[in-house]
């Protein structure tokens, strides 16, 4: 498996394929967008990983490298502690938690760590000297033992301990556990190397190694775009107006009462999707039917408390602020669903969306997105 | 006789045989991790012990280099060992990815081949974590990959260590003592399935089902008991009960053909008996009685009873 098909690349390909299949199965445009972004991040990582540049005096210090390792460990613990995306059908709240922010911090720290260690662990045999070869082999051995104890130990203890630990294991294995396992698999040797390697001696100008300047510039540009896209999309979610798509069909419903009379009621089906954001987005849908008879309008379905449900969302949190449905004394039916939508990357940045459906007693639609 | 069997176990000088052994271990691990066959019928400990034996033979063939302490190795051996760990790191990822593919594909095939079998090992409607055979396969890969790399790469006729020196002699002693792993695994497993308290298993939130019946309300009841953790057995109760104010009835398995459901008998055999009865007041009583036997002749067996009682108005009187 020499050359292009190295085990690391095959594993990365398989992991990406799994992610792609799981994301592509729902088949919506937003998931294809996520897939395209992940592919872009993958290309960025490939370009960045090919660059070996002197870490500089700051990243060359062991204490700084150890701090970076501690930060990555903290992010991994945070990811493991982050529960799977939740949706509360009672309150209508959904949240992906800090997953996206943690993931971006992890990528950032990984890049810094790669720079600090000059990516010695993944460098080809031809570009490392004897000292570096011995150091990376030792780092890999220590890292393997740490991996064995942490992953093997956690799996064994959690699977044996009891009901709650098994439930946690089941949820983690099917969620962020794979992300952390991938991090340990690909980055742990670099973390150990960064931890054990002594302070670097600043090299003489003639000794400086590095990739081509063009490649470094391309990597820097790709990095800026990779990190910029989620930030821009998070800001866009708060700034740009929502996209609304609606459809409404009238119908006549025949109902049979207990007395055997069959009164005729006019009804209308309301379907709306208010999509907040682009890429990082949430769908606030309405799917309801209202009927009227000249005296009053009433809900047929889709306007209850349990109907204030968010639709598909990508890296966005939705918090229901209000969900009310009432028929006023003059027979007008009012349904109001108000929610706060924010990006899970910048949760303090968001916008409030109100979806209203108002129909008077004669079936006139007074408000509808 | 003894010296001949020792020779047959000593593969140190024969790379071809070492590579064959590595291949056998990898295939056996893949089969163990797969969902086929759906159940190991209580004999799961046998493949585990066989794999452990093969592991020990492989460790012996590499003279336990992957597990040796640095002080007992010379510079060449230390370099070889550390390099094996670096290569092992790469192969570990590949092995885990392949295990994942094997698990997913075999689960799909098992669901297609055995749609009515009540107890494929996984997936389950219960929170049972990772099934024992899958967990062992992962631990096997984690523990053995560096040794496999050494066994695969070590050339024919590798140098014999100088037994006159203290460090190689200590390693030789450790290699002899490692055979105690087999009885140790057996004893730990017997203690696990016969002594460790029975644990509850709740419903897996990733699975959901809904049953509707005209003029009645229905509810799913999924629960179970785990005997001996992942290396024991699971006894499950999976019942959909509907009630209409007159009586309550079991609708998902009225003829008790499946009985229980979600049971896992990979490492201990499970004999289940199910009974259902609706009394004159319309109250349904559904009982799953199971005997979990890890050893032949019901030695160390444990009884588990799961009872579900639902009234005609849907009031749950007893549930596991």
Measured between beta carbons, the chain B residues lying within 8 angstroms of A144 are: 85, 88-89, 92, 146
For residues A196 and A267, state if they share a domain. no
Residue A1 has pLDDT above 50, yes or no: no
Does A39 reside within a domain?
yes
B130 at interface of A, judged by CB pairs closer than 8 A: yes
How many structural domains is chain A composed of? 2
For residues A199 and A253, state if they share a domain. no
Per-residue confidence (pLDDT) for residue A364, from 0 to 100: 84
A81 at interface of B, judged by CB pairs closer than 8 A: no
Q: How confident is the model at residue B118 (pLDDT cuts 50, 70, 90)?
A: very low
Residue B65 has pLDDT above 60, yes or no: yes
Measured between beta carbons, the chain A residues lying within 8 angstroms of B81 are: 141
Domain termination site, one of A189, A217, A238: A238
For chain B, the structural domain boundaries read 2-194, 199-318
Quote the ipTM score: 0.85
Residue A38 has pLDDT above 60, yes or no: yes
Measured between beta carbons, the chain A residues lying within 8 angstroms of B86 are: 136-137, 140-141, 189
Domain termination site, one of A238, A263, A293: A238
Does A360 reside within a domain?
yes
For residues A325 and A346, state if they share a domain. yes
Measured between beta carbons, the chain A residues lying within 8 angstroms of B130 are: 155, 159, 169-170, 173
Per-residue confidence (pLDDT) for residue A328, from 0 to 100: 85
Does A27 reside within a domain?
yes
A185 at interface of B, judged by CB pairs closer than 8 A: yes
Per-residue confidence (pLDDT) for residue B120, from 0 to 100: 45
Q: How confident is the model at residue A89 (pLDDT cuts 50, 70, 90)?
A: low
Per-residue confidence (pLDDT) for residue B203, from 0 to 100: 77
What stretch of H or E contains B151? helix B132-153
Per-residue confidence (pLDDT) for residue A264, from 0 to 100: 58
Per-residue confidence (pLDDT) for residue A4, from 0 to 100: 63
Does A273 reside within a domain?
yes
Residue A161 has pLDDT above 60, yes or no: yes
Could B85 and A159 be called an inter-chain contact, meaning their C-beta atoms sit closer than 8 Å? no
Percent of chain A with pLDDT over 70: 82
Residue B122 has pLDDT above 60, yes or no: no
Residue B162 has pLDDT above 60, yes or no: no
Please, are residues B242 and B216 in contact by the beta-carbon 8 Å criterion? yes
Shortest alpha-carbon distance between residue B94 and chain A (Å)? 5
Does A2 reside within a domain?
no
For residues A285 and A211, state if they share a domain. no
Could B93 and A8 be called an inter-chain contact, meaning their C-beta atoms sit closer than 8 Å? yes
Average the pLDDT over B162-188 and give the result: 79
For residues A117 and A233, state if they share a domain. yes
Please, are residues B138 and A154 in contact by the beta-carbon 8 Å criterion? no
Measured between beta carbons, the chain A residues lying within 8 angstroms of B88 are: 140, 144
For residues A163 and A147, state if they share a domain. yes
Alpha helices per DSSP H over chain A: 7-24, 29-49, 56-59, 62-81, 99-116, 130-147, 153-161, 163-173, 176-196, 213-239
For residues A179 and A234, state if they share a domain. yes
Per-residue confidence (pLDDT) for residue B1, from 0 to 100: 42
Q: Which structural domain range is residue A36 located in?
A: 7-238
SS in 3 state form for B15-72?
Answer: HHHHHHHHHHHHHHHHHHHCCCCCCCCCCCHHHHHHHHHHHHHHHHHCCCHHHCCHHH
Does A337 reside within a domain?
yes
Does A72 reside within a domain?
yes
For residues A116 and A20, state if they share a domain. yes
A130 at interface of B, judged by CB pairs closer than 8 A: no
Does A93 reside within a domain?
yes
- Closest residue in A to B143 (Cα) is A148
Could B82 and A141 be called an inter-chain contact, meaning their C-beta atoms sit closer than 8 Å? yes
Q: Is B8 exposed, middle or buried (0-12, 13-18, 19+ CB in 10 A)?
A: exposed
Encode pLDDT of A4-28 as tens digits: 667 777 777 777 777 777 666 655 6
For residues A269 and A216, state if they share a domain. no
Per-residue confidence (pLDDT) for residue A96, from 0 to 100: 63
Could A134 and B82 be called an inter-chain contact, meaning their C-beta atoms sit closer than 8 Å? yes
Residue A53 has pLDDT above 80, yes or no: no
Average the pLDDT over B228-257 and give the result: 84
């Amino acid at each position: 498996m020499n050359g292009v098909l190295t085990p690391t690349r095959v594993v990365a390909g398989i992991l990406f394929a799994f992610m792609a299949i799981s994301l592509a199965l729902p088949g919506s445009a937003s998931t294809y967008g996520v897939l395209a972004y992940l592919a872009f991040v993958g290309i960025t990582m490939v370009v960045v990983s090919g660059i070996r540049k002197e870490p500089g005096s700051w990243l060359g210090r062991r204490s700084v490298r150890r701090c970076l390792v501690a930060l990555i460990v903290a992010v991994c613990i945070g990811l493991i502690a982050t529960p799977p995306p939740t949706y509360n059908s009672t309150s209508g709240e959904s949240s992906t938690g800090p997953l996206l922010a943690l993931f971006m911090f992890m990528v950032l720290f990984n890049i810094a760590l790669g720079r600090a260690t000059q990516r010695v662990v993944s460098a080809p045999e031809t570009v490392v000297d004897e000292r570096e070869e011995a150091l990376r082999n030792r780092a890999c051995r220590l890292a393997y033992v740490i991996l064995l104890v942490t992953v093997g130990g956690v799996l064994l203890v959690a699977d044996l301990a009891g009901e709650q630990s098994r439930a946690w294991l089941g949820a983690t294995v099917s969620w962020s556990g794979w992300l952390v396992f991938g991090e340990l698999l690909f980055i742990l040797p670099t973390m150990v190397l960064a931890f054990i390697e002594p302070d670097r001696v600043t090299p003489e100008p003639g000794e400086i190694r590095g990739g081509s300047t063009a490649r470094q510039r391309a990597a820097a540009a790709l990095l800026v775009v990779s990190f910029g896209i989620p930030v821009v999309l998070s800001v866009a979610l708060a700034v740009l107006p929502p996209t609304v798509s609606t459809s409404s069909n009238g119908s006549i419903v025949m109902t049979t009462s207990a007395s055997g009379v069959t009164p005729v009621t006019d009804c209308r089906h309301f379907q709306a999707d208010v999509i907040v954001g682009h890429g990082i987005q949430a769908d606030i849908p309405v799917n309801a039917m209202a009927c009227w008879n000249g005296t009053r309008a009433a809900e047929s379905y889709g306007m209850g408390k349990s109907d204030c449900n968010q639709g598909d969302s990508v890296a966005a949190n939705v918090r229901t602020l209000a969900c009310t449905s009432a028929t006023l004394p003059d027979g007008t039916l009012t349904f109001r669903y108000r929610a706060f939508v924010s990006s899970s990357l910048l949760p303090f940045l968001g916008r409030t969306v109100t979806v209203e459906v108002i129909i008077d007693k004669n079936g006139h639609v007074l408000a509808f997105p | 006789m003894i010296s001949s069997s020792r020779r047959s176990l000593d593969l140190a000088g024969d790379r071809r045989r070492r590579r064959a052994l590595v291949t056998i271990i990898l295939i056996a691990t893949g089969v163990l991790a797969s969902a086929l066959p759906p159940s190991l019928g209580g004999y799961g400990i046998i493949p585990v012990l066989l794999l452990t034996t093969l592991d020990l033979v492989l460790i012996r063939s590499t003279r336990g280099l992957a597990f040796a302490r640095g002080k007992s190795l010379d510079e060449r051996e230390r370099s070889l060992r550390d390099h094996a760990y670096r290569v092992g790191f790469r192969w570990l990822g590949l092995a885990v990815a392949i295990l994942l593919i094997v698990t997913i594909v075999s689960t799909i095939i098992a669901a297609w081949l055995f749609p009515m079998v009540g107890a494929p090992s996984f997936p389950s409607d219960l929170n049972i974590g990772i099934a024992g055979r899958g967990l062992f396969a992962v631990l096997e890969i984690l523990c053995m990959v560096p040794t496999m790399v050494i066994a695969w790469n070590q050339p024919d006729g590798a140098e014999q260590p100088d037994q006159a020196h203290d460090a190689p002699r200590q390693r030789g002693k450790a290699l002899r003592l490692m055979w105690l792993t087999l009885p140790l695994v057996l004893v730990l497993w017997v203690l696990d399935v016969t002594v460790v308290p029975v644990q509850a298993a709740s419903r897996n939130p990733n699975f959901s089902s809904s049953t509707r019946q005209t003029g009645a309300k229905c509810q799913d009841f999924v629960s179970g008991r785990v005997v001996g953790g992942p290396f024991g057995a699971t006894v499950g109760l999976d019942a959909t009960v509907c009630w209409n104010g007159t009586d309550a009835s079991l609708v998902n398995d009225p003829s008790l053909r499946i009985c229980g459901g979600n049971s896992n008998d990979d490492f201990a055999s499970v004999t289940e008996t199910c009974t259902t009865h609706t009394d004159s007041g319309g109250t349904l009583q559904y009982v799953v009685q199971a005997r979990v036997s890890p050893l032949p002749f019901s030695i160390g067996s444990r009884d588990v009873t799961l009872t579900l009682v639902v009234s005609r108005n849907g009031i749950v009187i007893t549930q596991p």
